[in-house]
Amino acid sequence: MDNLIKKGYDYAREAYGKWGVDTDAVITKLAEVTLSLHCWQGDDVTGFEEGGAAAGGGTLVTGAYPGKARNPQELRDDLELAMSLIPGEQKVSLHSNYAETGGKKVGRDELEPAHFANWASWAKEKKIGLDFNPTFFDHPMLKDGFSLSSADPAVRKYWIGHGIACRRIGDYFGKTLGADCVTNFWMPDGYKDVPVDRAAPRERMRESLDAIFREPFEHNIDAVESKLFGIGFESYTVVSNEFCLGYASAAGKLLTLDAGHFHPTEVISDKISAVMGFVPGILLHISRPVRWDSDHVVTFDDELRAIMQEIVRNGYADRVFLGLDYFDASINRIAAWAIGSRNAMRAMLYAMLEPVDILKKAELDGDLTARLALLEEFKTYPFGLVWDYFCLTEGVPVREGWLGAVREYEKRVLASRA
- Asked whether the predicted pLDDT for residue 52 surpasses 70, the reply is no
pLDDT band at 55 (very low <50, low <70, confident <90, very high): very low
Q: What is the pLDDT of residue 293?
A: 87
- CATH fold of the domain at 35-350: TIM Barrel (3.20.20)
- Asked whether the predicted pLDDT for residue 139 surpasses 50, the reply is yes
What mean pLDDT is predicted for residues 1-13? Answer: 95
Domain boundaries, the chain: 1-30+353-418, 35-350
Q: What is the pLDDT of residue 59?
A: 74
pLDDT above 70: percentage of residues in the chain: 98
Catalytic residue numbers read 186, 225, 227, 258, 261, 285, 293, 295, 325
Tallying the residues shown for the chain, one arrives at 418
pTM of the model: 0.96
Average pLDDT score, the chain: 96
pLDDT above 90: percentage of residues in the chain: 94
3-class secondary structure per residue, 55-109: CCCCCCCCCCCCCCCCCHHHHHHHHHHHHCCCCCEEEEEEEHHHCCCCCCCCCHH
C-beta separation of 298 from 339 below 8 A:
yes
Rounded CA separation 83/78 (Å): 9
3-class secondary structure per residue, the chain: CHHHHHHHHHHHHHHHHCCCCCHHHHHHHHCCCEEEEEHHHHCCCCCCCCCCCCCCCCCCCCCCCCCCCCCHHHHHHHHHHHHCCCCCEEEEEEEHHHCCCCCCCCCHHHCCHHHHHHHHHHHHHHCCEEEEECCCCCCCCCECCECCCCCCHHHHHHHHHHHHHHHHHHHHHHHHHCCCEEEEECCCCEECCCCCCCHHHHHHHHHHHHHHCCCCCCCEEEEEECCCCECCECCEECCCHHHHHHHHHHHCCEEEEECCCCCCCCCHHHCHHHHCCCCCCEEEEECECCCCCCCECCCCCHHHHHHHHHHHHCCCHHHEEEEECCCCCCCCHHHHHHHHHHHHHHHHHHHHCCCHHHHHHHHHCCCHHHHHHHHHHHCCCCHHHHHHHHHHHHCCCCHHHHHHHHHHHHHHCHHHCC
Q: What is the pLDDT of residue 56?
A: 56
What mean pLDDT is predicted for residues 86-102? Answer: 97
What mean pLDDT is predicted for residues 205-220? Answer: 98
The one-letter amino acid at 34 = T
- Asked whether the predicted pLDDT for residue 54 surpasses 50, the reply is no
Phi/psi-derived region of residue 324, left when phi > 0, alpha when psi is between -120 and 50, beta in every other case:
beta
- Asked whether the predicted pLDDT for residue 307 surpasses 70, the reply is yes
What mean pLDDT is predicted for residues 406-418? Answer: 95
pLDDT tens per residue across span 260-289: 999 999 999 999 999 999 999 999 999 999
